[in-house]
């Protein structure tokens, strides 16, 4: 439920990458807000701009990224700030967990060393004994069994699900208020996915942290998030409450994502898994109109004339970017 003053406000965020092929427009005027204690889901295929947009907030993009717009955290502008200024926000206020947790760790560091280094970012006087105790508490909170005993273990001695729990514990180590979960269930089996989602939901309740949950699985996001942004070609295609998507998406891209999700009980011998034809638009050669038009079964000549605006569809916060919807 929206509470009024936002924890995070992003306005007209634009991200391009300077390459040998020219400028790649990855995010094109993204705007959204996030309340304290809210879970916001961002959905889209690879290349839609969902990860790039959230990495731009704490300035984690490479040097060839050109970023403009605004990202205010509790009213403080983050974009364009110095590294020393951002140190007060990275980790301490904004934590991140990433996909493929096995690639997020130094294979030569055991977990005790990783936690000690993390704690020292906010408290240079912390001792190894205190770090060990605090790490054990966090690992217990995130559901890793025998956490204190396993601090001497190295990354290769943990499963993917265990490494993701450790990653969440590390994100919480400095007391973050906003957790950006960038496809945290990728490469995990379905059972572990459910456990990670349940853990994040529990942390939201016990710590009142805000979460941005990024995924390509719209059904998974609907389970955890109160609101969903569907992105394609660096733009929001549809936005609204999760319940609205459960009742039925309105944008052709959102409908295609839902149709492409495998249903419980389905089997390849009885029905083929639906796919979205074509490929995501090349960001170096953006379409002149709606970026989804080349793959859209409902597209018309009007869709290719210009990028349609994101307009409200009701008084409940639902919005869509589609000329055909606006004509109805």
pLDDT of 245 higher than 90: no
Mean per-residue pLDDT over the chain, rounded: 90
CATH superfamily of 6-93+176-327: P-loop containing nucleotide triphosphate hydrolases (3.40.50.300)
Question: Of the ranges 100-104, 162-166, 235-239, which one carries the lowest mean pLDDT score?
Answer: 100-104
Give the start-to-end residue ranges of the domains of the chain.
6-93+176-327
Q: Residues 128, 108, 189, CA angle at the centre, nearest 5°?
A: 100
- DSSP helix/strand/coil, 96: strand
pLDDT at 285: 76
Q: How far, in Å, CA of 70 to CA of 273, rounded?
A: 40
> What pLDDT was estimated at residue 3?
47
For the segment 212-226, what is each residue's pLDDT rounded down to a tens digit?
999 998 888 998 999
pLDDT reading at 167 higher than 90:
yes
DSSP of 23-77: EEEEEEEEEEEEETT-EEEEE--TTSSHHHHHHHTTT-S-TTEEEEEEEEETTEE
pLDDT range class, residue 77, cuts 50, 70, 90: very high
pTM (2 d.p.): 0.92
Given a cut of 90, is residue 273 above it in pLDDT?
A: no
Looking at per-residue confidence, does 314 or 105 come out higher? 105
State residue 270's pLDDT score: 67
| Most distant CA pair in the chain, distance | 67
Task: Quickly list DSSP for 176-216.
Answer: -SEEEEESTTTTS-HHHHHHHHHHHHHHHHHH--EEEEEES
Which has more confidence, 112 or 325?
Answer: 112
| The pLDDT value given to residue 146 | 92
Q: What would the mean pLDDT of 103-109 be, rounded to a whole number? A: 91
Asked if the model's pLDDT at residue 74 lies above 90, the reply is yes
Grade residue 20 by pLDDT with cuts at 50, 70 and 90: confident
Band the pLDDT of 267: cuts 50, 70, 90: low
What DSSP element (H or E) covers 252? helix 252-260
pLDDT of residue 298: 87
């Amino acid at each position: 439920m929206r509470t009024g003053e936002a924890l995070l406000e992003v306005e007209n965020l634009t991200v391009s990458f300077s390459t040998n092929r020219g400028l790649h427009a990855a995010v094109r005027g993204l705007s959204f807000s996030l309340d304290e204690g809210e879970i916001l889901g961002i959905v889209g295929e690879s290349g839609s701009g969902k990860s790039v947009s959230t990495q731009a907030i704490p300035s984690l993009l490479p040097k060839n990224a050109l970023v403009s717009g605004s990202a205010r955290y509790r009213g403080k502008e983050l974009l364009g700030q110095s590294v020393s200024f951002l140190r007060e926000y990275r980790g301490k206020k904004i934590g991140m967990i990433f996909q493929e947790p096995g690639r997020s760790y130094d294979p030569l560091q055991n977990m005790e060393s990783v936690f000690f280094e993390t704690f020292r970012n906010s408290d240079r006087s912390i001792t190894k004994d205190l770090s060990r105790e605090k790490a054990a508490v966090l690992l217990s909170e995130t559901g890793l069994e025998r956490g204190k005993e396993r601090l001497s273990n190295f990354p290769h001695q943990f499963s993917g699900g265990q490494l993701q729990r450790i990653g969440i514990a590390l994100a919480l180590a400095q007391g973050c208020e906003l957790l950006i979960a960038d496809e945290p269930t990728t490469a995990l089996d379905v059972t572990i996915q459910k456990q990670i989602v349940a853990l994040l939901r529990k942390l939201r309740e016990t710590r009142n942290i805000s979460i941005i949950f990024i995924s390509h699985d719209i059904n998974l996001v609907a389970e955890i998030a109160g609101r969903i942004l569907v992105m394609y070609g660096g733009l929001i295609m549809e936005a609204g409450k999760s319940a609205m998507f459960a009742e039925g998406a309105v944008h052709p891209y959102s409908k295609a994502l839902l149709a492409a999700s495998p249903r419980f009980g389905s089997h390849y011998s009885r029905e083929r898994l639906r796919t979205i034809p074509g490929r995501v638009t090349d960001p170096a050669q953006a379409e002149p109109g709606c970026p989804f038009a080349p793959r859209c079964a409902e597209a018309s000549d009007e869709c290719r004339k210009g990028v349609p605006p994101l307009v409200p569809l009701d008084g409940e916060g639902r919005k869509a970017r589609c000329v055909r919807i606006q004509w109805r």
